[in-house]
Chain A
Amino acid sequence: MSNTGTPLLELRGAGKRFGAIQALSGVDLVVRSGEVLALVGDNGAGKSTLIKCMAGSHPLDEGLLLVQGEPVHLRAPPDATRLGIETVYQDLALCDALDVVANLFLGRELLVPGAGRPLRMLDEVVMEQKAREVLAELAVTIPDLRAPVASLSGGQRQCIAVARAVMWNSRLVILDEPTAALGVAQAGQVLDLVRRLRARGLAVLIISHNLADVFAVADRIVVLRLGRKVADVDARAVSREDVVAAITGAAERA
Chain B
Amino acid sequence: MKELRATLALQSLPWPVLVGLGVIGAVFQLANPNFLTPLNLTNLLLQIAATGTLATGMVLVLLLGEIDLSAGAVSGLCAACMAVLHVRHGVNGALAAGAALVLGATIGTLQGWWITRLRVPSFVVTLAGLLAWQGALLFVLGSTGSVNLRDPFVVGLAGTFLPSGAAWIAASVVVLLQLAARVRHQAQRARAGLATSSTGNMAVHAVLLILVIGGTTAVLTADRGFPLAVVILVGMMAVVDGMVTRTRLGRHILAVGSNAEAARRAGIPVSRVRITAFALCSTLAALGGVLAASRLQAVNQSSGSGDLLLNAIASAVIGGTSLFGGKGSAWSALLGALVIGSISNGMDLLALESSIKFMVTGAVLLVAVTVDALGQQGRR
A-side residues, CB < 8 A to B, are 77-78, 91-98, 102, 106-109, 111, 118-122, 124-126, 128-129, 132, 150
Contact = CB atoms under 8 A, between A and B. Distances in A.
B258 A107 contact: no
Contacts of A102: 251, 254-255
Contact of B251 (A96, A109, A125, A126): A109
Contact of B254 (A93, A97, A129): A97
A147 to B, nearest CB: 12
B193 interface: yes
Most buried by B among A97, A98, A118, A121: A97
**Shortest 4 CB-CB contacts between residues of A and residues of B:** A107-B266, A97-B326, A93-B262, A95-B258
B182 interface: no
B363 interface: no
Contacts of B327: 97
Contacts of A95: 254-255, 258-259, 262-263, 326
A97 B327 CA distance: 6
A107 B248 CA distance: 9
Interface string B234-250: 00000000100011110
A126 to B, nearest CB: 7
B188 interface: yes
A93 B259 contact: yes
B257 to A, nearest CB: 7
B192 interface: yes
Given A107-B268, A125-B188, A97 B257 contact: yes
Contact of B247 (A108, A122, A128, A132): A122
B114 to A, nearest CB: 25
29 contacts: A77-B265, A93-B259, A93-B261, A95-B259, A97-B258, A97-B326, A98-B258, A98-B326, A102-B254, A102-B255, A106-B262, A106-B266, A107-B252, A107-B255, A107-B263, A107-B267, A107-B268, A118-B249, A119-B247, A120-B247, A121-B242, A122-B246, A122-B248, A122-B251, A125-B185, A125-B189, A126-B192, A129-B194, A150-B379
B7 to A, nearest CB: 15
B197 to A, nearest CB: 12
A144 B248 CA distance: 22
Nearest to B379: A150
Given A93-B259, A96-B259, A106-B263, A129 B192 contact: yes
A152 to B, nearest CB: 12
B192 A125 contact: yes
Interface string B294-328: 00000000000000000000000000000001110
A217 B255 CA distance: 33
A94 B262 contact: yes
A106 B258 CA distance: 12
Contacts of B254: 95, 97-98, 102
A150 B263 CA distance: 16
B325 to A, nearest CB: 8
Interface in B173-228: 185, 188-189, 192-194
Contacts of B263: 95, 106-107
A129 B192 CA distance: 7
A121 B262 contact: no
Contacts of B262: 92-95, 106
Contact of A93 (B188, B189, B193, B266): B266
B266 A121 contact: no
A122 B250 CA distance: 10
B379 A96 contact: yes
A243 B252 CA distance: 45
B342 to A, nearest CB: 29
A23 B257 CA distance: 35
B192 to A, nearest CB: 5
Most buried by B among A94, A98, A118, A126: A98
Contacts of A124: 246
Interface in B252-308: 252, 254-255, 257-259, 261-263, 265-268
B194 A125 contact: yes
A78 B264 CA distance: 11
A175 to B, nearest CB: 15
B255 A121 contact: no
A93 B194 CA distance: 27
A75 B244 CA distance: 34
B253 to A, nearest CB: 11
Contacts of B251: 98, 102, 109, 122
Contacts of A78: 267
A93 B255 contact: no
B246 A121 contact: yes
Contacts of A106: 255, 262-263, 266, 268
Nearest to A109: B248
Contacts of A121: 242, 246-247
Contacts of B257: 97
A121 B251 CA distance: 11
A102 B48 CA distance: 34
A20 B258 CA distance: 38
B249 to A, nearest CB: 8
Most buried by B among A102, A125, A128: A125
Nearest to A161: B262
Nearest to B269: A107
Given A92-B262, A98-B255, A124-B246, 19 more contacts: A93-B259, A95-B254, A95-B255, A95-B259, A97-B258, A98-B251, A98-B254, A106-B255, A107-B255, A107-B268, A120-B248, A125-B185, A125-B188, A125-B189, A125-B192, A128-B189, A129-B192, A129-B194, A150-B379
